[in-house]
Structure 1
Amino acid sequence: MAAVEVVRSEWTKIRSVASTVWTLSLAVVVTVALGGLISALSRSQYDRMPVRERLSYDPTLVSFAGMTLGQLALIVFGVLVVSNEYSTGMIRTSLAAVPRRGTFLFSKIAVAAGLALVVAFATSFAAFFLGQSVLGPHRAQLGDPGVLRAVIGGGLYMTLITVFSMGVAAMLRSPMLSLGILMPFFFLISNILGNVDATKKIGRYLPDQAGSRIMQVVPRLGDDTPYGPWGGLGIMALWVVAAVAGGYVLLRKRDA
């Protein structure tokens, strides 16, 4: 089967699964709505903030506060795109139709990543504009230094999270096992490692901790992170490449 036909087949698979629409829609709603809510709370508390906090106040990053939960929906989307065929047993049929496993996996990732990219960019810009409208006098403008980079970076960050999840799912094959590792890792473990003094230097190199730096415009006071916004996204990209490469190697070695 030609690569174009494989891509078309993967698009049909993704489009026909109800969970695709629900998870992507949830990512948009949660990220934008929660970002707007936290922006409103931030505006109401701004006048009571200590001077030190005002000096590092980042209105752009505030509008992306909902992304912490919104990214979980994209993790689910990425995992289900890959592992659904294993849980239903359709993987045997798929690999019989597309015996070149690299073509099969990378076509699936390309289609899902393209869809995630569109949704992620729409979400990032919507969260920014809603958040800034709520922040009122404390808002940032898209033309301010570093702001457009942060908004574009938000879309890239969410897309990379999706692809990373797909790579992990390709390695583990089980949706329950993949989600059982990824959810607590991103929602709990990474935050703990990144905020505890003893592990902070390690935590800053985890994919979400490094990648999320692209959305930061105003540096935090006392921040000694040894890389910048694009460097952080580059570190995250390396994690993604490693996860996808691991998924590809194991897919080639194992039976369906």
Structure 2
Amino acid sequence: MRAALAHEWIKFRSVRSTVWTAVVMAVLPVPGAVFVAATESLQPDDTVLGGALTLSVPAMMLAAVVGALVMSGEYSSGTIRTTFAATPRRRTVLGAKAVLVAGGLYLLALPSVSCAYLVGGALLGDGYAHGDPMPALLGVAGAFSVAGLLGLAVGTLVRHSAGAVTTVLGVLLLPSLFGPLFGDAQRWVAGISPTAALEKLTQTSDATAEAVGSLAAWPSLALVGGYTVLLLLAADTALGRRDA
């Protein structure tokens, strides 16, 4: 596993698409906090935490894209054959990628969202409720890691970069977009989305029970983590049965 992790780190930092996507993901939340403060667009019933992390949802989508590209990019370039030749145990390869994605995204996301909250608090002043940043910020960073693992699972199953990115973005966006079409079931449909868990963790006023379900923030994140683990298990099974 140690050698596999070293290989995956070299590949990750050698591919521009994953590096730049991760960089943009890490940078995005802070300008969002500045924009909300500059435009004075924070609603009176919202919190500084929710306003400062306005761009955390698109940032989390980029985290999912990073996870998808880590595996699907190797299939698209054909380097997956070399990877499996160097590490014949495919489960080890998937495990190393999962550790790299989850750990790397968490280490990038936690300082990013923390800085966004501090900047938002400094610029917005005392006219708004600040919310409870801890341990919520830890959960927000964890949501980025979960989204990355979800992308990794989808990338392993789809094995095509464009298809994997489209699929994982659909998983993140479609429940919220189509939830209102299901009437009273909206809270159940939209509530299963990773974006719903993120909105609850950021304590935004948009995260109402009618829109994103009545589950609390941490149980909602646990639900998303649960089906992400199941999807990773399905990806592991498919990886072992398919040819490279």
Q: TM-score, normalised to structure 1's length?
A: 0.85
Aligned to 2:98: 109
Alignment of 1:102-181 (within 5 A): 102-140=91-129, 146-181=132-167
1:31 aligned partner: 29
Spell out the pairing of 1:33-112 with structure 2 (5 A cutoff).
33-41=31-39, 44-45=40-41, 54=44, 56-112=45-101
Helix, strand or coil at the partner of 1:147: coil
Deviates more, 1:97-106 or 1:189-198: 189-198
Of residues 203, 216, 219, the one that matches 1:228 is 216
Q: Give how far 1:220 is off.
A: 6.2
CA contact (8 A) 2:48 2:124 kept: yes
Q: Distance in 1 between matches of 2:6 and 2:207?
A: 46
For residues 129-171 of structure 1, give each alpha carbon's deviation from its aligned partner in whole angstroms, at most 9, with x where no partner exists.
1112221123555xx6x32122222111111111111111111
**Aligned pairs, number:** 241
Q: Which digits, 9 at most, give the CA deviation of each residue in 1:41-95, with x for residues without a partner?
A: 3xx356xx6xxxx4x4222111111112222322221111111110111111111
Partner letter of residue 203 of structure 1? A
1:237 lines up with 2:235 in the alignment:
no
Taking a change above 3 Å as real, the CA distance of residues 197 and 149 of structure 1, as seen in their structure-2 partners, is farther
**Alpha carbons 1:207, 1:239 under 8 Å: kept:** no
Distance in structure 1 (CA, Å) of the matches to 2:161 and 2:206: 38
Distance 1:22 1:64, change over 3 A: same
Q: Distance in 1 between matches of 2:208 and 2:88?
A: 54
Query: TM-score, normalization: structure 2?
Result: 0.88
Give the deviation of 1:107 after TM superposition: 0.7
Q: Which residue of 1 aligns with 2:195?
A: 208
Q: 1:137 is paired with a residue of what secondary structure?
A: coil
Counterpart-to-counterpart distance in 1, 2:154 and 2:208? 35
Contact 2:8–2:96, Cα closer than 8 Å, also in 1: yes
Task: For 1:8-27, list aligned pairs within 5 A.
Answer: 8-27=6-25
Rounded to whole Å, the distance in 2 between the matches of 1:83 and 1:118 is: 23
Identify the residue that residue 255 of structure 1 maps to in structure 2. Answer: 243
Choose the corresponding residue for 1:192, options 154, 177, 191.
177
Partners in 2 of 1:36 and 1:74 — Cα distance? Answer: 21
Q: Residue type matched to 2:241 in 1? A: K
Q: Is the 8 A contact 2:57 2:198 kept in 1?
A: no
Gaps of 5+ in 2: none
CA distance in 2, matches of 1:64, 1:10: 30
Question: CA contact under 8 A between 2:65 and 2:165: conserved in structure 1?
Answer: yes
Query: Displacement of 1:222 after TM fit?
Result: 6.6
**Alignment RMSD (CA, Å):** 2.3
The 2-side partners of 1:105 and 1:148 are apart by: 32
CA shift, 1:195, in A, is 4.6
Name the SS of the counterpart of 2:195 in structure 1: helix
Aligned identity (percent) is 24
